[in-house]
Structure 1
Amino acid sequence: MPATPDQELIEIVDQENISLGVTTRSVMRQQNLLHRASYVLVFNRTGELFIHQRTLNKDIYPGYWDIAASGVVLAGETYQECALREVREELGIGDVRLRHLFDQYYEDSHNRVWGRVYCCTSEGPFILQPEEITRGHFIHPSQLRILQQKEPVTPDSVMIFSRLPY
């Protein structure tokens, strides 16, 4: 029987992104432990970015808009394996070619994470994971600033977007 999300084993790291050990996702969230995550920005051929709204039952940033298919790197998993798993699980797409953009450290009162940011190109069709995503669509990247003024956007997404050339 697969582990529930709270029971998944997560690798905990230090400020230098060096492994300190493994714990469950629930302990990681309760103690706001530093961990790893992968983020995949999905663009279509015309350069529009796929954004999605997170479900209200998410353990962090529920109901917020997100610019990436993203997830916590599981114990024993690489950043790239996590990234491919997340686009497959959240968006229902496979066979994508990932391009590494950059790594970043992000921290707020709810989340401390070393993230590896990738991008890929896909036209879909997307099969959105109902446990994770309420809805999604493509937008021109310049529209994200307008969205941020009207709706909550995950703060790690805001940081990623600030590093892109838009």
Structure 2
Amino acid sequence: MNGTQEVILVNERDEPIGTMEKIEAHRKAALHRAFSVFIFNSKGEMLLQQRALNKYHSAGLWTNACCSHPAPGEATADAAHRRLQEELGFSTGLEKIFHFTYQTAFDNGLIEHEFDHVFAGQYEQRITPNPEEVKDVCYKSLEDIQQSLQTHPQKYTSWFHIAFPKVKEWAVQQGLVQPTI
């Protein structure tokens, strides 16, 4: 856990209204800006990461390539690039594809209430995960992920359950994957 990291508090239109220490924002369920990065390979498979076991929530769960919060004064796209490098050890082009707001309570008393900007990119080369952030990584087909979400929903983060169908729809529209019947 990063000591005193500040997050950007926002209203329902993602307009900044202040800042707050990250854990305090999660204790108070304060709406704040966040981002999620989804990475695909040339086969249309999605990169998943298993969160490190020492994470303050959702430890050991599978999710998208990376996610976090921009710092006050930091552009959300710049923060997405920064965290991709910090968590997985690589950089690639990213495109914002949509955003959504969600709220989830965790067993430890913390509550995620985030205005989440979703970015997508493509990457084929070496991945060097930071063991403080990531336990494991793999690429999986969207069909395999969808089936696993249905049969083992407890293995995935709450925000991944919300974002995945929207990312899958975007990937089909972009021609990255074929639609399933």
**TM-score, normalised by the number of residues in structure 2:** 0.84
Structure 2 partner of 1:90: 87
Q: Which residue of 2 aligns with 1:122?
A: 123
CA distance in 2, matches of 1:68, 1:91: 8
2:99 maps to which residue? 103
Counting aligned pairs with the same residue, the percent is: 23
- Output aligned runs, 1:128-147, within 5 Å: 128-147=129-148
Structure 2: how far apart are the matches of 1:111 and 1:29?
A: 6
Is the 1:68–1:157 contact (alpha carbons within 8 Å) kept by the matching residues of 2?
no
Match of 1:37 in 2: 34
Q: Measure, in 2, the Cα distance between the counterparts of 1:59 and 1:6.
A: 12
Residue 11 of structure 1: how far off its partner (Å): 1.0
Which whole-Å CA distance do the structure 2 matches of 1:71 and 1:124 have between them? Answer: 23
Q: CA deviation at 1:58?
A: 1.1
| Correspondence for 2:156 | 153
C-alpha distance in structure 2 between counterparts of 1:108 and 1:134, whole Å: 23
The gaps in structure 1 that reach 5 residues or longer are none
Which residue does 1:113 correspond to in 2? 114
Task: Write the letter of the residue equivalent to 1:89.
Answer: E
- Residues paired across the two proteins, number: 162
**Candidates 10, 14, 18, aligned match of 2:11:** 14
Q: Counterparts of 2:118 and 2:128 in 1: how far apart (Å)?
A: 22
Q: Distance in 2 between matches of 1:138 and 1:31?
A: 35
Distance 1:72 1:100 in 2: 15
The DSSP-based 3-state class of the residue aligned with 1:126 is coil
The DSSP-based 3-state class of the residue aligned with 2:147 is: helix
**1:52 Cα deviation (Å)?**
1.0
